[in-house]
Structure 1
Amino acid sequence: MRVIDEQFLATPYYGSRQMARWLRRQGDGVGRHRVRRLRTVMGLHAMYQEPRTSQPHPHHRIYPYLLRNLAITRANQVWCTDITSIPIKRGVLYLVAIMDWQSRKVLSWRLSNTMETHFCIEALEEALARYGVPDIFNTDQGSQFTSLEFTAVLKDHGINISMDGKGRWMDNVFIERLWRSLKYECVYLHAFDNGAQARTHI
């Protein structure tokens, strides 16, 4: 899974067929269906489909994107969040981070072995407790972020909710860059055996 994850960062437009073909060229005879299954476990989808770890929920409200043509000039004006997968020896973990858009500072993060909403809420509540309240909070359309539980925390603090256009990874480009840096500078340099090792190095 680490090899697939690393190649996905280099060629996010690869579908399962192209990824399987690339793996065969590297000497790994993995079939397309196994690649598809592993990518599903890791939450990886080709860019032309939806480059998101989190998946939308058909019954959750989708909020408008508020950052188009907005001048972001100060800290706590806009925060953003996203989820990525972290491969470990016997599976995959999920990492969520809260980032300040203007300063690029990571305000909080959490690791989880499931894609349930609670670890995203924990990260959000920690960031709010430590850094105050932003004007706008931007997310993708993943079900964790569109859930009533997550949006209720934002509304209770009077925060305006902004959501990326479906499949538009560029709408949250700074946190996407964070994932790329984290994986090349940390994750791919260590073969994590378990979650404890991943937490220590991240």
Structure 2
Amino acid sequence: MVIKYSNDFKESIVSLHKVGRSANSLAKEYNVSVSTVSKWVNQADPNNTKVLSANERALIKENKQLKEELDIFKTSSGAYGEKLIIKGRIPTLKIINDNLQVGHRITKILNVLRIPRSTYYGYIHWKPGKTLLRRNFIKQKVLDAWLKYPMYGYPRLTILLNRQLKIKISQRMVYKQMYALKIRSRMTKRINKPKTHTEYDQRPNLIKGLPDQSNILLTDITYIPVKNTWVYLASVYNPVTRRVISYKVGSHMTKELATDVINQVAVKSVKPSIIHSDMGSQYTSDLFESTLTRFGIKHSYSRKGQPGDNARIESFHSILKREYINFQEFKTINEAIAGIDSYIRWYNSDRISLVA
């Protein structure tokens, strides 16, 4: 006769086994066969699949496979097949390698992600071609050049690299590499400066429409920030050669400062026929006018409120500030003098011009 045992009885036997009782002692005490006690104990173990039916074991296996596939899919954010391959070799290999590191088999990974074996092994054995090697070489040279001359944009960097490397590099190539590197010319916006006004009547503009400006020099004064105040740079500029002829930094914007750079021009044996300036009080002063008369130089004036009449030197001062001054924090006028002197020497001798 088959004896049926209640679930409570079975659970009590299993509990006694868990606290250390052997199957033999339990069988003798409760008049149950040893095999029956062992069966109850095995059935109570959720990790023991030997006592499960074939269907139960198949379901466990399927669940395990589904979990593995889900884990693989998570690393690719659900992308597979062409949607994954289109991301490129490096991202795809990273996803595959991440799965390999946690113990998934390569066959399983490729099947789940629907990546052909030929594609995978092609990625592994890939070597860069000449075009890519050249592009990477240029990319590094672009970065090196920009780090040395951060004020340069892609047109000047292109000229510089063509000179240095002796190979033909297009502006488009340099632009694309700068875009990939997320770098750009560090030219900045202008800093607001004090406004100036003139109360003198308009004086003649002798260079407007003049076809030959080879014997003309431009002069102007600009503001330089130094520790919460201003110092002043007076310059004389050749609009044809685009070079600074003379310059001086002073703590005050005076007629003497404006005149000193004209005296420097005379000392250098440079004798222009015309000096062009704005209508500022320094340039309409008796000292400035008499100095020009002494050197036999005519004086030409910009129209009031029209800085474009003196555009070339205005442009130089703007470049000086946007490429250099605005990135400095001068504490003294001597620091400003040294820094400006160094920049102007570089500007005159080495800075690449985009104008033929």
Above 0.5 in TM-score?
yes
What secondary structure, in the 3-state scheme, does the structure 2 residue paired with 1:133 have? coil
Q: Decide whether the 8 Å contact of 1:107 with 1:131 is kept in 2.
A: no
Q: Give CA deviations for 1:138-160 in whole Å, capped at 9, x if unaligned.
A: 00000000101001010111111
1:56 aligns with 2:198: yes
> Per the alignment, do residues 98 and 135 of structure 1 end up closer, same or farther by CA in structure 2, a change over 3 Å counting?
same
Shift of 1:57: 4.5
Which letter maps to 1:93?
A: V
Shift of 1:73: 4.9
Instruction: State the partner residue of 1:139.
Output: 277
Q: Give CA deviations for 1:66-93 in whole Å, capped at 9, x if unaligned.
A: 111111353xx10111111000113110
Which letter maps to 1:68?
A: K
Instruction: State the partner residue of 1:82.
Output: 220
| Consecutive unaligned residues in structure 1, runs of 5 or more | 1-5, 11-38, 46-53
Shift of 1:101: 2.1
Q: Decide whether the 8 Å contact of 1:62 with 1:146 is kept in 2.
A: no
Output the CA distance in 1 between the equivalents of 2:332 and 2:308: 31
Task: Give the superposed CA RMSD.
Answer: 1.8
> What TM-score comes out, normalization by structure 1 length?
0.70
Instruction: State the partner residue of 2:287.
Output: 149
> Per the alignment, do residues 73 and 136 of structure 1 end up closer, same or farther by CA in structure 2, a change over 3 Å counting?
closer
Instruction: State the partner residue of 1:179.
Output: 317
What secondary structure, in the 3-state scheme, does the structure 2 residue paired with 1:95 have? strand
Q: Give CA deviations for 1:155-199 in whole Å, capped at 9, x if unaligned.
A: 111111100011111100001110111001110121111111111
Output the CA distance in 1 between the equivalents of 2:234 and 2:326: 18
> Per the alignment, do residues 98 and 73 of structure 1 end up closer, same or farther by CA in structure 2, a change over 3 Å counting?
closer
Which letter maps to 1:120?
A: A
Instruction: State the partner residue of 2:167.
Output: none
What secondary structure, in the 3-state scheme, does the structure 2 residue paired with 1:96 have? strand
Output the CA distance in 1 between the equivalents of 2:223 and 2:244: 17
| Largest Rg, 1 or 2 | 2
Shift of 1:132: 2.0
Q: Decide whether the 8 Å contact of 1:108 with 1:126 is kept in 2.
A: yes
The alignment covers a number of residue pairs equal to 153
Output the CA distance in 1 between the equivalents of 2:238 and 2:273: 11
Q: 2:208 aligns with which of 68, 79, 88?
A: 68
Find runs of 4+ consecutive structure 1 residues off by over 3 angstroms. Answer: none
Which structure 2 residues correspond to residues 1-202 of structure 1 after superposition, within 5 A? 7=189, 9=190, 42-43=193-194, 45=195, 54-58=196-200, 62-74=202-214, 77-202=215-340
What secondary structure, in the 3-state scheme, does the structure 2 residue paired with 1:165 have? coil
Which letter maps to 1:56?
A: T
Output the CA distance in 2 between the equivalents of 1:188 and 1:90: 13
Output the CA distance in 2 between the equivalents of 1:65 and 1:101: 16
Which letter maps to 1:183?
A: K
- Structure showing greater relative contact order (alpha-carbon pairs closer than 8 Å, 6 or more residues apart): 1
